[in-house]
Chain A
Amino acid sequence: DTEVTQTPKHLVMGMTNKKSLKCEQHMGHRAMYWYKQKAKKPPELMFVYSYEKLSINESVPSRFSPECPNSSLLNLHLHALQPEDSALYLCASSQGAATGPKNIQYFGAGTRLSVL
């Protein structure tokens, strides 16, 4: 099973709302990632969790707050977003940097977020 599950598939929120995106994997992977992808652009790395600890934050605004409650789950909490934050948010997982060159990433189908 190489599945990464993301919920919800679609989300519409106002600029004052608080919402959360969820990502789950059961492959025993110890690294999990959040990416943001705008239309016709490549995915851009936002956060990396390694062994449930935040290891990389690519200077993401504080209105995006990641959380890794356990090794299988990754959340992205959203608050006071702007319309320009509308994008496809992708979650990925991998065995982790300790595997070195064999560190294959597996992606979920994404959450399509629209901020009104």
Chain B
Amino acid sequence: KQEVTQIPAALSVPEGENLVLNCSFTDSAIYNLQWFRQDPGKGLTSLLLIQSSQREQTSGRLNASLDKSSGRSTLYIAASQPGDSATYLCAVDNFNKFYFGSGTKLNVKP
């Protein structure tokens, strides 16, 4: 069964810092990897999707990379803002079965 791990579990940074969140998975036979944001008690908001054939995707201040062969993805957030504070989850698509990591809880201090 696919196992997805996210490091670190929590991160606290001052506003303006660039930061990297990590996601690793055990089964490289994936369709894609998706990064989500979840605010407390809320649903998930899709941030970026990287297809299995892609290496990188960018949206605004966010950049996600994928190294399928090594089972790793990173989410880079540039110039962090207090509004970025949330839990960030990665999920891999194993042919329509989605497995989530436990998330990284990010706190950006003003």
How far, in whole Å, are A92 and B100 apart by their CA atoms in the complex? 14
CB pair B41–A105 under 8 Å, yes or no, is: no
User: Is the interface on chain B under 10, 10 to 19, 20 to 34, or 35 or more residues?
Assistant: 20 to 34
Cα(A40)–Cα(B44), bound, Å: 14
Chain A proximity of B16: nearest CB distance (Å): 28
Does A42 contact B97, Cβ atoms closer than 8 Å? no
- Tell me which residues across on chain B come within 8 A of A90, comparing CB atoms: 43-44
Q: Which stretch in A65-73, A77-85, A95-103 binds the other chain?
A: A95-103
Inter-chain contact count A-B, CB under 8 Å? 67
Given A42-B89, A50-B96, A97-B96: A104 touches B46 (CB 8 Å cut-off)? yes
Contacts A/B (CB < 8 Å), 22 sampled: A4-B43, A41-B102, A42-B101, A42-B102, A45-B97, A50-B96, A55-B96, A56-B96, A100-B31, A101-B32, A101-B53, A101-B93, A103-B31, A103-B32, A105-B44, A105-B91, A105-B98, A107-B43, A107-B44, A110-B41, A110-B42, A112-B41
Residues of chain A whose beta carbon lies under 8 Å from any beta carbon of chain B: 4, 6, 31, 33, 41-45, 48, 50, 55-56, 88, 90, 92, 96-97, 100-110, 112
